[in-house]
Amino acid sequence: MKFHAFVKLCSLLTVLRWDVVVAAVENVEISADGSIQEAAVVEAAAEEVETPPEKPIIDPKCPDRDHIIRCAGAYLDTNKNNKLDRSELQAAIDSLPWYAQGVLKILGSVDKMMKKCDVDKDDAISMDYDMSNNKEDCLATCFKRRAFKSSFFPECDL
């Protein structure tokens, strides 16, 4: 009886070990040059090549702050210093028709925008520091972001 239990145990161990060997072999691929790679690595590399980068979906009713920042940089930052200077903001507002300027009263005057958005008080709203440190005050609502976008760069899809 002990011998029979020992044989069962050995056969069970053999089966278990065989499963380990099969699992190990299933996770290995041999490339054309003869090198051995794990299948997971090969599959991950194939997925990286096949998957094109996804473009963020922009909700026209509620553009996100990052989208507004990218578009402001592309359309309003005329000197390309990665900041929206007071003069650039004023020039952008002045370039709008009078009826569109009225819509921007929602956002406030240039002074009011600078007070809310220029965290470091250098008279320019930087796209990186200021905009990442004023999320609660500057363009905090969908309504304000939509008004800003529709006024200055309605066609922007960056």
In this predicted structure, the answer to whether residue 89 has a pLDDT above a threshold of 60 is yes
For 18, other C-beta atoms within 10 Å of its C-beta total 10
Q: Where are the domains of the chain?
A: 65-152
> Other CB atoms closer than 10 Å to residue 30's CB: what's the count?
9
68 burial (CB, 10 Å; 0-12 / 13-18 / 19+) is: buried
Q: In this model, does residue 120 exceed pLDDT 60?
A: yes
Is residue 157 very low, low, confident or very high in pLDDT (cuts 50, 70, 90)?
confident
pTM of this structure: 0.60
Reported as a single tens digit per residue, the pLDDT across 137-150 is 999 999 999 989 99
- Find the mean pLDDT for residues 15-20: 45
The CATH number of domain 65-152, selected from 1.10.260, 1.20.120, 1.10.238, 2.30.30: 1.10.238
Residue 28's contacts (CB-CB under 8 Å, 6 or more residues apart) are 36, 37, 38, 39
At 74 the pLDDT is 96
Please report the sign of the dihedral spanned by the C-alpha atoms of residue 145, residue 138, residue 100, residue 89: negative
The answer to whether the Cα torsion of 106, 112, 113, 115 is positive or negative is: negative
pLDDT at 32: 57
Burial category of 72 from C-beta neighbours within 10 Å (exposed 0-12, middle 13-18, buried 19 and up): buried
pLDDT at 46 over 80: no
